Chain A
């Protein structure tokens, strides 16, 4: 036993000393890109997606149409799980260098990390070689799907942050969603209903704390630099951020809203809205169809843009499509053909109708097709009126770490009522360290 322990300790020590010296080493570099982008022989490829079971008939229909019209390529669609699971599987397959799909979806915040790490194929040469028109996407979408000037991904199912509200209740009680953050205090008082014992009978709004993406626009529009221009520090402990955080904390302590955090937070929030225990909720536009289905005839569903500050921007959510760089060229070529089909104008409209995602093409948004889409989904006018305000997400290799730290501290501030200034200060120190180390 003693010998085994000594042996293990010695092994660890020797390994440590050998590798602790600060030497530099690189693994094998990826192969140079091939010249031809043509698909010349039959090939079967795999597409990883995160569309849940209710969308599988639509997935089957769209993939089936592709397979029927492309005799050389057979696509097998594979549901992997949610975006986090897709990420885990993709990163593991990339590190192993095997088991990669030909094409996969990825959540928008991963674009920077994947782009920086070389996981994604640079699609720029494909776009040039095949003359694919990507200018039909908005500038924000192009920026959100590229990294350092390289088109490493392309927009697929795009959503943004919105407020869903009970329109029937709003009309009856004369409540409007405020257009400015400064008007939120009055809205909170009017839209909430408090019991005489101080408990809440109806919340004005529920703020999702489980994902910083939902409250991020309020900070950005107030003028907070979540990542400063120096790329190694944050302004999240600054006075503007502290004021807004105190506002949130005050609304929570008054019982006007609650900070939805934890694994069941999303479903609880949805249920509270359906049960009319809250006037409104902040959520992703992609869940429009789901909300519609859950509400049924109970009340009319309204959709509004988030209150503005100095600006009124929102951020792109949803998913992009990417081709893993470690695939062979034949697989990449087939994937590129399928990718073009998936993001094509007609197929994009099918996705938009069948899910809650936004049409991505300018030619659709500003045309008769767009008008027809609005007739089918009138609540989307709130988004169509603000399309130019949808921005790419902040791209930084340390973004996920920043988000984890930010969410954790805000949870503590909102749920425990912890001191805002002290906690934001500690949080900023941690975030600065992460940003500096990741850049």
Chain B
């Protein structure tokens, strides 16, 4: 038999819903509506300029998965995955190393921490312009320093095997301090009792680090992993300023690919198709990460 919900509870539920309604409307208007529009545009031939367009069925999808778009999509996913792997490694491993080294409460260490964290405050576009000049083949300071050791100049941004690495230099310079600060904050929350007990049991510093620090920091690592993963997958500005996707598409990450088709080639239809695929991939990977992490992350600390 169906139970009747008391009127007071219904009113309370209605009030609760009313409080979240503005946020839902905002989300619907500025998040879900554009997503639906992007999906719709992927089935049209809209070029962004023309007011008129037609629905073309699966034409753009066929171009992306069975036409000339396939190899560029695969290339961009490969480039994006490599970049993401690089940024994740720098942020998590680099951040952890710096956190362990600089986790001291003295003025000199505070200054060093500030110096490492400072680049995070510099606008990416400005930093990218500076790095273009640092990495300039002929007049860059990096090649000048290499020349002092008798090394030939390196084409940092013009060589397809080095260009992505060069962008990662900038990324690492900006993000390693962020990873460090997050880890230091988390490390200071770990009770000293764990380490004292481990010392009494004869555990070495390394054993304490691997058996206590790393497991207890796993929620922090998960946080850094998810946030860095999403931001790295969506990298655009540094690529746009430093290489414009080149040389010959070797740094063409997914978001830059979408931008190029939409804004330079006037193919909003194709850009939307790539955007939908990218959205689904991001959604699937994030969901999978959350599911896997539920079993492996230790929230006991």
Distance A415 CA – B39 CA, assembled complex (angstroms)? 39
Within 8 A of A (CB), among B135-177: 136-139, 157-158, 160
Q: Do most interface residues of chain A lie in helix, strand or loop, or is the interface mixed? A: helix
Q: Which residues of B contact A409 (CB under 8 A)?
A: 248
Selected interface stretch from B83-91, B191-199, B239-247: B239-247
Q: Does A196 contact B (CB under 8 A)?
A: no
Q: Which residues of A contact B67 (CB under 8 A)?
A: 433
What is the size, in residues, of chain B's interface with A at 8 Å between Cβ atoms?
A: 49
User: Are A26 and B51 also in contact (CB < 8 A) when A15-B39, A20-B57, A404-B265 are?
Assistant: yes
Distance A272 CA – B139 CA, assembled complex (angstroms)? 10
Q: Which residues of B contact A21 (CB under 8 A)?
A: 55, 57
Distance A316 CA – B138 CA, assembled complex (angstroms)? 31
Q: Which residues of A contact B266 (CB under 8 A)?
A: 91, 113, 117, 397, 400
Q: Are B158 and A415 in contact (CB under 8 A)?
A: yes
Closest to A262 in B: B158
Closest to A28 in B: B51
Closest to A97 in B: B51
Within 8 A of B (CB), among A85-139: 87-88, 91, 94-95, 113-114, 116-119
How far, in Å, is B244 (CB) from chain A's closest CB?
A: 6
Q: Are B49 and A400 in contact (CB under 8 A)?
A: no
Distance A433 CA – B246 CA, assembled complex (angstroms)? 22
Q: Which residues of A contact B40 (CB under 8 A)?
A: 15, 19
Q: Which residues of B contact A437 (CB under 8 A)?
A: 63
Type the 1/0 row for B204-240, where 1 means its CB is closer than 8 Å to any CB of A. Answer: 0000000000000000000000000000000000000
Q: Does B97 contact A (CB under 8 A)?
A: no
Q: Are B246 and A116 in contact (CB under 8 A)?
A: no
Q: Are A114 and B248 in contact (CB under 8 A)?
A: no
Distance A15 CA – B55 CA, assembled complex (angstroms)? 13
Q: Does B58 contact A (CB under 8 A)?
A: yes
Q: Which residues of A contact B248 (CB under 8 A)?
A: 408-409, 411-412, 415
Q: Which residues of B contact A12 (CB under 8 A)?
A: 39, 276, 280
Closest to B291 in A: A1
Q: Does A174 contact B (CB under 8 A)?
A: no
Q: Does B78 contact A (CB under 8 A)?
A: no
Q: Are B265 and A271 in contact (CB under 8 A)?
A: no
Distance A319 CA – B49 CA, assembled complex (angstroms)? 19
Cross-interface CB contact of A114 among B32, B49, B249, cutoff 8 Å: B49
Q: Are A118 and B50 in contact (CB under 8 A)?
A: yes
User: Are A408 and B51 also in contact (CB < 8 A) when A15-B39, A91-B266 are?
Assistant: no
Q: Which residues of B contact A28 (CB under 8 A)?
A: 51
Q: Are A415 and B247 in contact (CB under 8 A)?
A: yes
How far, in Å, is B28 (CB) from chain A's closest CB?
A: 12
Type the 1/0 row for B258-276, where 1 means its CB is closer than 8 Å to any CB of A. Answer: 0010011111000000001
Q: Which residues of B contact A23 (CB under 8 A)?
A: 55
User: Are A117 and B49 also in contact (CB < 8 A) when A88-B263, A263-B157, A263-B244 are?
Assistant: yes
Type the 1/0 row for B270-296, where 1 means its CB is closer than 8 Å to any CB of A. Answer: 000000100010010001001100000
Size bin of chain A's contact surface = 35 or more
Q: Does A366 contact B (CB under 8 A)?
A: no
Cross-interface CB contact of A27 among B32, B52, B57, B136, cutoff 8 Å: B52
Cross-interface CB contact of A91 among B36, B132, B246, B263, cutoff 8 Å: B263
How far, in Å, is B155 (CB) from chain A's closest CB?
A: 8
How far, in Å, is A391 (CB) from chain B's closest CB?
A: 23
Closest to B39 in A: A15
Closest to B129 in A: A263
Within 8 A of B (CB), among A12-30: 12, 15-16, 19-30
Within 8 A of B (CB), among A398-439: 400-401, 404, 408-409, 411-412, 415-416, 429-430, 433-434, 437
Q: Which residues of B contact A26 (CB under 8 A)?
A: 51-53
Q: Are B157 and A264 in contact (CB under 8 A)?
A: yes
Q: Are B39 and A16 in contact (CB under 8 A)?
A: yes
Q: Does B68 contact A (CB under 8 A)?
A: yes
Q: Which residues of A contact B57 (CB under 8 A)?
A: 20-22
Distance A152 CA – B96 CA, assembled complex (angstroms)? 59
Q: Are B53 and A25 in contact (CB under 8 A)?
A: yes
Q: Are A19 and B283 in contact (CB under 8 A)?
A: no
How far, in Å, is A243 (CB) from chain B's closest CB?
A: 22
Cross-interface CB contact of A433 among B68, B264, B276, cutoff 8 Å: B68
Q: Are B264 and A84 in contact (CB under 8 A)?
A: yes
Q: Are A262 and B39 in contact (CB under 8 A)?
A: no
Q: Does B44 contact A (CB under 8 A)?
A: yes
How far, in Å, is B284 (CB) from chain A's closest CB?
A: 9
Q: Which residues of B contact A119 (CB under 8 A)?
A: 49
Q: Contacts A84-B264, A117-B48 given; 20 further ones with Cβ under 8 A?
A: A1-B287, A11-B36, A12-B276, A15-B39, A25-B54, A26-B51, A27-B53, A29-B52, A94-B49, A262-B157, A262-B246, A263-B243, A263-B244, A263-B246, A272-B138, A401-B267, A411-B247, A415-B160, A416-B160, A433-B67
